[in-house]
Structure 1
Amino acid sequence: MSILHIDSITKSFGEKKILQDVYLSCETGKIASILGRNGCGKSTLFQIIFGKVKSDTQYIKFNDIILKNQFDRKNRIAYLPQYSFLPKNVKIENLIKLFCNEENFQKLIDSILIKPIINTTPNKISGGELRLLEVLLIIYSSAEFILLDEPFHSLSPKIVSIVKDLIKEQSQFKGFIISDHLYQDVLDISDEVYLLSDSYLKPIKDLTELKRFRACLKIKLEKVIWRLSL
């Protein structure tokens, strides 16, 4: 088992504090979700954990190794951003080789989700197909910890259901931190739930706590009662 320890993350843009003393821990075999309204800092937090954005303060450790730069994250943390990140003119089969080891490469090229587009390039597929490809590349990458920012965006309900099953399957070997506005789908697969609000990250243990922050989420509570009551 590996552990990703995230502590003392603070980030400000000018005089506006986005993140304050954020603490989060994730281990392989677990799925953690981060809820929060638009603009609360979820994407910024992901980018700091991945090493793409510099925070004001931070302490991030993979097992006993302190991660100081993005190179330290290689094969340890993979990040799916909200925006498209793949080169548009590279054959999809070659992209899979770049992201995946031999075993996972074979899984993806044999997948019914990828087979129809395996011989084309990202600029020749639809937006939904592109998002699915990006999600699968990150999920099946060599990293032990996977950060997924809006993984279900642009995906049909049927594909979202498939992707949820794949995340659960891969979580046997990896740790996941997920944020998406399809709250119910995120909660369905989460072992731990956090709310990012007013720059602080708060663990949510039960429905009572979620009710206290319902204005922050702007969602109908009945949609999440079932998951938090388990």
Structure 2
Amino acid sequence: MNKLHVDSVTKSFGQRKILQDVYLSCETGRISALFGPSGSGKSTLMEIIFGTAKGDTQFIKFNDSILKNQSDRKNKLAYLPQRSSFLPKECKIQKLIPLFCTKENTEVLYSLKMIQPFLDKTVRNLSGGEKRIVETLIITHCDSAFILLDEPFSGVSPKSVDELKTIIKAQSKNKGIIISDHNYSIILDIADDIYLLSETYLRRIKDVKELQQFNYLPKS
């Protein structure tokens, strides 16, 4: 079992403090949900964990190894960013998959009904929701031990959301997954651990009632 330990993360933009003494942990076989209002710093936190952004302070450890730079994270962490796409626009999906996945995982992806309609298409010819599906499937089937998913269901049709959710849950048997999405009901359905980022602090949350107490969800 692999463990990801994130501690003492702080981040400010000018005089505005975004993250303060953030602690988070995840391990193989578990899905950690990351909730928070828009602009609370969820994407910034994921970028710091992945290594594409730097915190004012940070301590990130994979098992017994401290992750100090991007090269330390290779084959340990993979990240699906919220906005920018990591896929080349002119390349067919069928040729892209082996660039990110092992031979075994490539065959698994090729066999998924969900991705088969897109295999002969280029990224440029996909709709926003289709591209999100392909990106999420590739990231969740890559060889990294931990997967960071920022808004994986954005623009995805309700029918495809259910199918994608099932695949993410299945992949978590062998990976640790940290996931953030505004569609909180979907994430709550598959999450093992819940975190709420609010007013610069990250809190471990027990259940929906606590999300209501901290005013993230409306009180019923």
- C-alpha displacement of 1:207: 4.0
Aligned to 1:42: 42
- C-alpha displacement of 1:52: 0.2
1:121 aligns with 2:119: no
Equivalent residue of 1:107, what SS? helix
Conserved? CA contact 2:152–2:181, under 8 Å = yes
Let me know the Cα RMSD of the aligned residues: 1.1
Could you tell me how far apart the structure 1 residues matched to 2:125 and 2:206 are?
44
Report the AA paired with residue 52 of structure 2. K
The percent of aligned pairs where both chains have the same amino acid is 57
Aligned to 2:15: 15
- C-alpha displacement of 1:85: 2.2
Could you tell me how far apart the structure 2 residues matched to 1:78 and 1:36 are?
21
Conserved? CA contact 2:47–2:53, under 8 Å = yes
Aligned to 2:109: 108
Give per-residue Cα distances to partners, 1:47-77, cap 9 Å, x unaligned. 0000000110000000000000111111100
Aligned to 2:149: 148
Could you tell me how far apart the structure 1 residues matched to 2:193 and 2:114 are?
29
The normalised TM-score by structure 1 is 0.92
Give per-residue Cα distances to partners, 1:171-194, cap 9 Å, x unaligned. 110000000000000000000101
Give per-residue Cα distances to partners, 1:92-149, cap 9 Å, x unaligned. 1121001111111011112212212212210012111111000001110110100000
Could you tell me how far apart the structure 1 residues matched to 2:209 and 2:161 are?
28
The normalised TM-score by structure 2 is 0.96
Equivalent residue of 2:195, what SS? strand
Report the AA paired with residue 37 of structure 2. R
Most deviating of 4-13 and 116-125 = 116-125
- C-alpha displacement of 1:167: 1.1
Conserved? CA contact 2:212–2:218, under 8 Å = no
- C-alpha displacement of 1:221: 4.4
Equivalent runs, 1:1-230 vs 2, <5 Å? 1-83=1-83, 84-214=85-215, 217=216, 219-222=217-220
Runs of 5+ unmatched residues, structure 1: 223-230
- C-alpha displacement of 1:27: 0.2
- C-alpha displacement of 1:153: 0.4
Give per-residue Cα distances to partners, 1:12-70, cap 9 Å, x unaligned. 00011000000000000000001111000000000000000011000000000000011
Equivalent residue of 1:78, what SS? strand
Report the AA paired with residue 19 of structure 1. L
